[in-house]
A and B are shown apart, each in its own frame.
Chain A
Amino acid sequence: MTDVNIENPIIKVNDLRFFYPGDARAIHGVDIAFPEKQVTALIGPSGCGKSTLLRCFNRMNDLIDGSRVEGEVLLDGQNIYERNTDIIELRRRVGMVFQKSNPFPKSIYENVIYGLRIAGEKDKKLLDERVETSLKGAALWDEVKDRLHQSALGLSGGQMQRLCIARAIAVNPRVILMDEPCSALDPKSTARVEELIGELRDEFTIIIVTHNMQQAARVSDYTAFLFEGNLIEYGQTNELFVKPKNKQTEDYITGRFG
């Protein structure tokens, strides 16, 4: 199933099972380890559990009443499902970018520093600096530097998504989770976000869920193929897309099913 040996993983998942309300099991005992400062893509047909798995890594699934998690998710060796976990702190360390960009109805500036404001940061100089570095990090600075105090809702779809990435990196997370970040973007904006993922890899660990197989092949270092809540194959992207070991993986990536 997993052919890679990840040394010192940033996230290590042990026998993870997730149940939606009514005991509907969506994840069936998944074991997987994510390497630090690399991009890992989660692929698989609709309903395979890839987004559910992703949302287990910053406990976004806690928001679903009646859902249940069993097993462990270790972030830097610490199980995030322990009773005393500070969820706000967890989500600061494990940021998320969603399918549909979701800027707040505030200025570009306020969007970027939203997380820092919540954390009580008031130092104007630090906030200014963080806005600039985050927007530069998200390859958006040049386009918005003259209108930082205008509403974020005036940005284009691609710019909004990069603003959400800037907002995610402003709090200096360890991991950024991306759930279909380009599915609502045109090819040009998609290319910019993909390019950005390549740059962010130097500083952050990225786990991306994508339906677009070519995108997974282009942006990721590792790929995990999930099917019906099970991890079927996990390996280096350049191996998995040329010589998959599992027949189901082969059939899925070549479009024979799914």
Chain B
Amino acid sequence: MAVLIQAELDKLKKSLLTLSAEVEEQVQKAVQALLTCDKTLADSVRKDDDKIDLMEVELEEDCLKVLALHQPVAHDLRFIVSVLKINNDLERMADHACSIAERAIDLSRIMCPESPYDVEAMGNKVKEMLRTALDALMKTDSELAHQAIEMDDPVDQIHRQNFVIIRKAIIDNPQMTEVLLHFLSVSRYLERMGDLATNIAEDVIYQIEGEIVRHGVDQQESKG
């Protein structure tokens, strides 16, 4: 019984890691396409999103099969639940990468204007956060997961600053509103990616420790 389910769990983990590598590449390419105003690269991000959607569906189906056939409990159960959730988070993250690629295409049509804030710096922060969360997942390391969660506040902070910068820029240059709104959207997508990376890190912690750390809820305290 244990050997059979372990083989299935190993397969799920392998599929999840393949998906996470694909999504990380999509994020990387989308930010790159925006920075370099590369329409071809942006197009490839959009095209590859279908592949990620398919991988997500397949992985979900595999998880459901293992749940139905092996009725896992304890760590095995928590592992599959976290795979299901991380799978969903990764797919949504890829959607945001796709949305950034679409903004890159829109901006390439209007002569690649310069961003009013440092897209590259923000993109790097989010990519580092995602890298840390995925490392935590790959190594089943709750310490790394906690590190990833701590990286979210600075990203939120940058997004709030970007909002202030863009609001001022729109007031100063109303004719640039459309361009500026594209950049605000990009900032918002990156901030959401940070949130999804946080979710992934939280699910890694749940998988390892069995504690739900979402919303800052301490289960033991809330029960006591």
Residues of A within 8 A of B77 (CB): 241-242
Choose among A214, A254, A257 the residue that contacts B74 (Cβ–Cβ < 8 A): A254
Q: Is there a chain B Cβ closer than 8 Å to A10's Cβ?
A: no
CA distance A14 to B73 in the complex (A): 30
Which of B2, B5, B73, B78 is most buried by chain A, counting CB atoms within 10 A of its CB?
B73
Check if B1 is an interface residue, CB within 8 A of chain A. Answer: yes
B109, CB-defined interface residue at 8 Å: no
Q: Is A120 an interface residue, CB under 8 A from the partner?
A: no
Q: How far is the CA of A242 from the CA of B209 in the complex (A)?
A: 11
Query: Are A255 and B1 touching (Cβ within 8 A)?
Result: yes
Whole-angstrom CA separation of A249 from B77 in the bound complex:
14
Most chain A C-beta atoms within 10 Å of own C-beta, residue among B2, B5, B78: B2
Q: Which of A213, A217, A243, A255 contacts B5 (CB 8 A)?
A: A255
What residues of B have a CB within 8 angstroms of the CB of A217 in the complex? 73
A interface, size bucket: 10 to 19
Do the beta carbons of B72 and A254 come within 8 Å of each other?
A: yes
Q: How many cross-chain pairs have Cβ atoms below 8 Å apart between A and B?
A: 32
Choose among B1, B71, B73 the residue that contacts A242 (Cβ–Cβ < 8 A). Answer: B73
> Closest residue of chain B to A214, judged by CB?
B71
Main secondary structure of the interface of B (DSSP, over half): helix
Q: Which residues of A sit under 8 angstroms from B74, Cβ to Cβ?
A: 241-244, 249-250, 253-254
Write the nearest CB–CB distance from A43 to chain B, whole angstroms: 11
**B73 CB contacts on chain A under 8 angstroms:** 213, 217, 241-242, 253-254
Q: CB-defined interface of B52-74 with A at 8 Å, one 1/0 digit per residue?
A: 00000000000000000001111
Nearest A residue to B211, CB-CB:
A243
Interface size in chain B (residues, C-beta < 8 A): 12
How many Å lie between the Cα of A253 and that of B71 in the bound state?
A: 11
Which B residues are in CB contact (< 8 Å) with A244? 74
Q: Which of A213, A254, A257 has the most chain B CB within a 10 Å cutoff?
A: A254
Q: How far is the CB of B142 from chain A (nearest CB, A)?
A: 14
What residues on B are CB-neighbors of A242 within 8 Å? 73-74, 77-78, 210
What is the CB-to-nearest-CB distance from A233 to chain B, in angstroms, rounded to a whole number?
11
Does residue B168 face the partner (Cβ distance < 8 Å to A)?
no
- CB nearest to B219 among chain A residues: A243
CB <8 Å contact, B75 and A250: yes
Residues of B contacting A253 with CB < 8 Å? 73-74
Contact across chains for B210 and A254 when beta carbons are under 8 A apart = no
B72 partner residues in chain A, CB cutoff 8 A: 254
- Which among A213, A243, A250, A257 has the highest number of chain B CB atoms within 10 Å? A243
Q: In the complex, what distance in Å separates the CA atom of A213 from the CA atom of B77?
A: 14
Q: A217, A242, A249, A257: which has the most chain B beta carbons within 10 Å?
A: A242
| A188 located at the interface, meaning its Cβ lies under 8 Å from any Cβ of chain B in the complex | no
Q: Are B2 and A254 in contact (CB under 8 A)?
A: yes
Binding site for A on B (CB under 8 A): 1-2, 5, 71-78, 210
CB<8 Å pairs between A and B, sample of 6: A213-B73, A214-B71, A217-B73, A244-B74, A254-B73, A254-B75
